[in-house]
Amino acid sequence: MTTIVDGRFWLNIEGHGFLGAGRIELLERIDAAGSIAGAAREMGMSYKAAWDNIDAMNNLAEQPLLVRQAGGRHGGGTRLTAYGRRVIDQYRAAEQEYRLFMDLMQQHLGSGLRADDVPEGWSLMRRLSMRTSAGNQFQGKVCRYTAGVVNDVVTVDIGDGVEIVAVVTHDAAQSLGLLREGREVQVLMDASLIMLCEEDGGVRYSARNRLCGTLREVRPGAVNAEVKLELAAGRILTAMVTMEAVEEGWLQEGARACALIKAPHVLLAVAG
């Protein structure tokens, strides 16, 4: 029986995967249609799912991939930035090389090579497909650190001066190479561990991280609501809050709010 080799290609930008075939197709369709809603319909995707994918890409990209155009006589829309088009071109070029690799794998297995004897590139492809369940992922660079005996404090700049502080064990910081300015890392935060407060509420807090922005979307659920907070440079932070908090009335789209995150709740990851 002939062994069939297939797989998915995820593009790594500076060591972190954030683009796949589905997301690239979404970007291409948005560019052609000039509309996120239109692109989502063409792909059989919900508007919410399309925006979730766009948020995930923008959070990891060095520059915004999309820009919104205000409505006017002919209506508004969305278009790709020059950076977004370059990303698509880079992905398509890398995808072509990946297909050549898969063709080579097919030839090897077809000639009787055992699966555990495949080239070392196979393990690389497995790493490229790794995903995480964390609700928030941001690409950044270490801008400051303070080494301790047991725990270290690492500050990461995720773009436009937005900084996130994490507390990690000294052993972990050393093994991951975090105690070096400029070290590229990925910041992971669970949406359920993020608290929200009014920006001018005069609230005292002990959390090391206070990230302020504009409430872009509030999605009510049966018990909890998903809240999207837009930070600088188009970064989107997602938090889960109770419906009781939503019913208080201050979590309104367009309002200013701040996210409070304890430093121990921030996870840092580096490319393998």
pLDDT one-digit tens code per residue, 78-109? 888 888 888 888 788 777 767 766 666 566 55
Cα separation of 47 and 44, whole Å? 10
* Type of residue found at 186: Q
The CATH number for 237's domain is 2.40.50.100
Residues 151 and 229 in one domain: yes
Residues 140 and 270 in one domain: yes
Where is pLDDT greater, at 240 or 5? 240
Residues 198 and 106 in one domain: no
**In the chain, how many H helices and how many E strands?**
7, 14
Residues 127 and 204 in one domain: no
SS3 of residue 272 by DSSP: coil
Quote the pLDDT of residue 4. Answer: 55
Quote the pLDDT of residue 38. Answer: 92
The CATH number for 38's domain is 1.10.10.10
User: What is the average per-residue pLDDT within 242-268?
Assistant: 94
The tokens of 239 are what? 């938090």
Among 105, 131, 157, residue at a domain's last position: 131
Go through 54-73 and write b for each residue having 16 or more CB atoms within 10 A of its CB, e for each that does not.
bbbbbbbbeebbbeeeeeee
Tokens 């509309």 locate to 35
Q: Return the bridge partners of 17, or none.
A: 12
Q: What is the pTM of this model?
A: 0.60
CA distances from 107 to 2, 5, 118 (A): 10, 9, 11
Quote the pLDDT of residue 137. Answer: 86
At residue 261, does pLDDT exceed 90? yes
Quote the pLDDT of residue 198. Answer: 93
CA distances from 173 to 25, 182, 243, 262 (A): 37, 14, 38, 18
User: What is the average per-residue pLDDT within 130-147?
Assistant: 79
At residue 117, does pLDDT exceed 50? no
CA distances from 194 to 47, 225, 228, 229, 249 (A): 25, 13, 11, 11, 19
Quote the pLDDT of residue 110. Answer: 53
Domain that holds residue 15: 1-131
Among 131, 163, 195, residue at a domain's last position: 131
At residue 115, does pLDDT exceed 50? no
Residues 140 and 232 in one domain: yes
Residues 116 and 145 in one domain: no
Q: Could you report the per-residue pLDDT of 33-86, keeping only the tens digit for each?
A: 888 999 999 999 999 999 888 888 888 887 888 887 665 444 457 888 888 888
Residues 25 and 93 in one domain: yes
Q: How confident is the model at residue 155 (pLDDT cuts 50, 70, 90)?
A: very high
User: What is the average per-residue pLDDT within 229-248?
Assistant: 91
Most confidently modeled range among 76-80, 219-223, 244-248: 244-248
Residues 126 and 147 in one domain: no
Structurally, the chain folds into a number of domains equal to: 2
Per cent of the chain over pLDDT 70 is 76
Average pLDDT value over all residues in the chain: 81
Residues 46 and 164 in one domain: no
Quote the pLDDT of residue 166. Answer: 96
Residues 150 and 113 in one domain: no
User: What is the average per-residue pLDDT within 171-198?
Assistant: 90
Residues 20 and 107 in one domain: yes
Among 113, 131, 149, residue at a domain's last position: 131
Residues 68 and 36 in one domain: yes
User: What is the average per-residue pLDDT within 151-163?
Assistant: 93
DSSP 80: E
At residue 233, does pLDDT exceed 70? yes
Per cent of the chain over pLDDT 90 is 40
At residue 130, does pLDDT exceed 50? no
DSSP assignment of 130-199 equals -----SEEEEEEEEEEE--SSEEEEEEE-STT-EEEEEEEHHHHHHHT-SSTT-EEEEEE-GGG-EEEET
Q: How confident is the model at residue 118 (pLDDT cuts 50, 70, 90)?
A: very low
At residue 253, does pLDDT exceed 90? yes
